[in-house]
Chain A
Amino acid sequence: MLSQMLQFGFMQDALLAALAVSVLAGVVGYLLVLRAASFAGHALSHIAFAGASAALLAGWPPLPGMIGLPVLAGAAIGAIERPAGRRGGAAADVAIGLLLAASLAVGLLCLHFATGSVSAATSLLFGNILGIDRATLWVLCAVVVAALAGLAWMHRTLLFVILQPDLAEAQGVRVRLVWAGFMMLAGVAVAASAQIVGVLLTFALMVAPPAAAQRLTRHPRTGAAVSVALALAQCWAGLVASYLTDWPVSVWIVGFGVAAFVLAWAVGARLDRR
């Protein structure tokens, strides 16, 4: 049954795309959750929707807009977003929420004027991993590798800024700049995740696995690794389940994500009692 599934070219591409995206989404999502900034990540996915729709309206393939706009917006959000519980945090949350709503509206308008928009809208919103073509796959892989290289380069400073923002500032680290840089990489991760599960469901890849990982480990690097493993397991299991049931892949990926999260909380509660 499985060997039969693996013979399809589109299935091989889908499995590869899921691998690439899971590595990036798992790490970036973990860092977002660590800083309690998953809402900013969610907003970026809606901005990806606006970018993709605008690209379609211009007669381009959606991917450049889908990646480009959230990367730009990431820099802006990184500049206004504050660590949880800080002065200005609530106002920044409102600003980010309005940006999210406005992006969705802009996306809707662009699709309204673009032709053949109904199926395009569905695959943007809910993902179409089985429709990823070779060219898109290679672009996706290249973008993921570049973003991972950026993360590897800045990971020490980034962890310092996320976990101890006051100390980092006192050490002369340019906290705002580092965070804005990271949010640009988060824009890439969101766009990549949206290729798999769609902009509305990026939480399934960027929040569910890290939130589960966070309950299972006490060290950030282990946590990021567990998060990647869970994201990958979720995507591949989702592809298999979808192949067997013929339900949409995104449904299964989200379902497995929620299940893994609930399970991790139960296990984590046990670990705490020890």
Chain B
Amino acid sequence: MLIECPWCGGREEQEFHYGGQAHVPYPAAPAELSDAQWSEYLFFRDNPKGRFAERWVHSAGCRRWFNALRDTASNSFIRVCAPGEPLEGYR
């Protein structure tokens, strides 16, 4: 795959590492979570066939993390953006 780094432009997939689902915040009050909620945070992630908001890091380039919206049914990237920017079009 060719991946568009927001800072470096299009590069070979080999320069990147995958970070899984984007926008999974650390629980605000972890001590207050039930076992079920903690399990959900640790082990359950979205796994859609279709649009998926995910994280990548350009580890062999600028070494910065970014978010991407990619279609897991075709592997095509819909857009990439720097962390903190809204990733519109997901759900």
- Binding partners A and B: no
